[in-house]
A and B are shown apart, each in its own frame.
Chain A
Amino acid sequence: MATYEVFLKKDGRDEYRHAGSLEAANDDLAVVLARESYVRRAEGDLLWVVERSNVIVADDDFLTPNADKPHRHHDGSAVAARRKAARNDEQKS
């Protein structure tokens, strides 16, 4: 048995989304079982089934440094604070 990952897409602009996993003896059976396990109630119109061993998986620490980069989260608060201070100075003068 191999493990497969199942992806479904609704018609239209939605992207493919991960629906779940399953185990099957071969590719043909994986597609049949994906249909009966995840799409019984028309949850999607298009189906991808990928054997998990074909997924390229990054190392656990590959993304860790990106968790500490607040300068990339630009919410505009610093600029807003400077603009407010500038407005206050204008009113005083």
Chain B
Amino acid sequence: MSSQDFIRQSGGLGTKSSYSKSIWRTIHTDPPLLVGITLLCGFGLLVLFSASGGDVAVVQRQALTMVVGLVVMFIVAQFNVRFFRQWAPTLYAAGLGLLGLVLLVGVEANGAKSWLDLPGLPSFQPSELMKFVVPMLMAWYLASRPLPPRFKHLFWSAVMILVPAALIIIQNDTGTAIMVTMSGIFVVLLAGIRWRIVIAGFIMLLLASPSWFIFLAQEHQKNRILTFFNPYRDPTGAGYNIIQSQIAIGSGGIYGKGYGDGAQSHLDFIPESNTDFILAVLAEEFGLLGVLFLISMYLFVLVRGCYIAYAANDTFSRLLAGSITLTFFFYVFVNMAMVSGLLPVIGLPLPLMSRGGTSVVTLFVGFGLLMSIQTHGHNRSV
């Protein structure tokens, strides 16, 4: 118990003042996380303004989405984390039900049949829901089992992760399926799965990948992989995006071409410059320094997320907070690596920078959960 006390006391990052702490606790908000998120949002809107060619309407909509996200975050943070633990199985079952419903009556947009347009509700993507419901369920499941988890539990964990992932893949939304799977896998990894199983699984994945490539991969996926190894095999087709984005990033240099002066983006050479490839715009206009600034802000949020996970006082909270934080990192890294040519193109946005709707709100749900874990857990023990 004494170690827990120590952790609890250092939770305020050296702030001894219990007055200010209590105010933030009361409204269930974590100030460092809020600052990091707000900075990222502000920077994101700034870059988006340039990337959209000075389109005020686009920036306004994005700002509105972010405000909605903040409100959602605030609401989520008001719930005690025990509430989510209790309701995790129910939420999961509901999520699966909605995914099933999407298969029947889903609406298609951008090639993915993942939208649900129910009467009386704004249209939304149930697959987004699963991004935080799956880690919630995994945390619920593993937290009540002895850790490190046994093989039996791992098997059921795999089933719980793969069923929604499979349903999302059927919707033709590979990016989200990967995120959902990863968010579940992070829980398992943090829960202390044995290394030999991890290594064995990794080797199996490596061995299976060629047959996936040959038999299962769709044409555009194969193209993306081949293009990753040599963008110039089809410079005006599949390789165009990555070539142009590398040109944008590279020509930005250390200091960048200046805000609003990115020739690549303003002459429309960068496709998806408002969404997946917004990093290229940032890198072109703000240079390496701008990218390092962005990475440091992300790092700040990640460190805070890790701290919340570390400081949480029950296994469910720890696992959930850790998974949310790592998933956030995964998002950031995969997008940046893809845009800079370190990974094949996977259609994932850059969190808080890319223009988006539902997926932005989903991020804030994650932040809300982190704040809930940080504020409620400690409240109880105080």
A binds B: no
Which residues of A pack against B, CB within 8 Å? none
Which residues of B pack against A, CB within 8 Å? none
